[in-house]
């Protein structure tokens, strides 16, 4: 369950990141609670990660204990009521497909998001016009500092575009309950789900490591269109590049470091701000320490 000096590059979809001094992957809620109890007695740094699909972890790695929840998988779907209960580590794509086969609609948009339920609840993940906030009933969370798990309702999560109050709290999502649409033809829902996946994979660079969309859209404008209009597609710093396929993606062309990606994010922000007076806010969360990278980019 516990490992020492483990590279975190394999725990992020960007395939970058330094070493975790200690890493644990609990496969049950009881195991997670035990880890938290043991760690409270030690009192060192603690970081929770899921599928790593919206994380940029420093090349310097992370101190203390890193707990990865991606093995906390499992979901129960009630086709009569439309209520779905899923553990924090359940992958969104598999949950979307299971829901479709059960004739439950409302998660078709999530099939192309390489994240987990827990991360989606925290970030209010969304795509193609849908988002978690529209379907979430409650989330069960726990404070790593102590106390029992408790349930928090959708209305108390302060949901907004790619935002929830959980981003400011240290609570850990254990599971979530969703209300989906009942009475639909499973074949039709499955077809919509597959169509959504095809739309994403044909217009976004899923063949290379990335975190998905890097920047939040400055509504009503789209970040990708703004970046593309500035001619930044293909712009590189090290082996990190603005995707030629979708300008709101930064891809790892092989051998990129977290510092390369971080520098490219900042470069795009500065260029957009100079041209339009807009500051693009990243969806991605940085973990660990980052320093300025010497040198510029290469077209």
Catalytic sites, residue numbers: 162, 213, 283
* 217 in any annotated domain: no
- Provide the 8-state DSSP code for 239: T
Q: Give 44 or 179, the one with higher predicted confidence.
A: 179
pLDDT score recorded for residue 295: 52
**pLDDT tens sequence across 1-29:** 678 899 999 999 999 999 999 999 999 99
CA distance 186 to 51: 28
Alpha helices of 137-282 — where are they, by DSSP H?
186-203, 223-229, 258-276
Average pLDDT over every residue of 40-49 = 89
Beta bridge partners of 46: 65
Which has more pLDDT, 35 or 293?
35
Q: Specify the pTM.
A: 0.91
Whether pLDDT at 297 is above 60: no
- Among 203, 235, 252, where does a domain finish? 203
In a domain, 31, yes or no: yes
* Assigned domain for 108 exists: yes
Q: Whose CA is closest to 232, among 215, 219, 218?
A: 215
CATH number at residue 28: 3.30.43.10
For 179, the token pair is 């209300």
Domain housing 27: 2-68
CATH of the domain at 249: 3.90.78.10
pLDDT at 214 over 60: yes
Q: What are the tens digits of pLDDT across the range 50-104?
A: 999 999 999 999 999 999 999 999 999 999 999 999 999 999 999 999 999 999 9
Number of domains composing the chain: 3
pLDDT digits (tens, 9 = 90+) for 108-145: 999 999 999 999 999 999 988 899 999 999 999 999 99
DSSP assignment letter at 292: P
In residues, how long is the chain? 299
Instruction: Give the pLDDT score at 119.
Output: 96
Mean pLDDT of 157-162: 95
C-alpha–C-alpha distance, residues 213 and 204, integer Å? 9
């Amino acid at each position: 369950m516990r490992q020492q000096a483990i590279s975190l590059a394999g725990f992020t979809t960007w395939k970058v990141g330094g070493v975790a001094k200690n890493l644990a992957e609990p496969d049950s809620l009881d195991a997670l609670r035990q880890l938290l109890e043991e760690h409270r007695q030690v009192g060192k740094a603690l970081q929770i990660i899921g599928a790593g699909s919206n994380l940029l972890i420093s090349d310097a790695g992370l101190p203390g204990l890193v707990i990865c929840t991606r093995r906390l998988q499992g979901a129960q779907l009630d086709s009569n009521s439309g209520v779905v209960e899923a553990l924090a580590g359940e992958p969104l794509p598999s949950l979307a497909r299971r829901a479709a086969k059960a004739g439950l609609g409302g998660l078709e948009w999530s099939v192309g998001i390489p994240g987990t339920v827990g991360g989606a609840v925290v970030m209010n993940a969304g795509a193609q016009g849908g988002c978690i906030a529209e379907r979430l009933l409650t989330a069960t969370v726990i404070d790593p500092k102590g106390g029992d798990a408790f349930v928090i309702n959708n209305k108390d999560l302060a949901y907004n575009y790619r935002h929830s109050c959980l981003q400011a709290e240290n609570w850990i999502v254990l599971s979530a309950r969703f209300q989906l649409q009942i009475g639909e033809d499973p074949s039709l829902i499955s077809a919509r789900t597959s169509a959504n996946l095809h739309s994403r994979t044909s217009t976004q660079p899923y063949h290379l490591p990335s975190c998905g969309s890097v920047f939040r859209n400055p509504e009503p404008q789209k970040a990708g269109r703004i970046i593309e209009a500035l001619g930044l597609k293909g712009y590189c710093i090290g082996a990190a590049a603005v995707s030629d396929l979708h300008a709101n993606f930064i891809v790892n062309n092989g051998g990129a470091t977290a510092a390369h990606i971080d520098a490219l994010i900042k470069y795009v922000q500065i260029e957009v701000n100079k041209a339009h007076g807009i500051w693009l806010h990243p969806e991605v969360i940085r973990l660990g320490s980052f320093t300025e990278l010497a040198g510029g980019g290469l077209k």
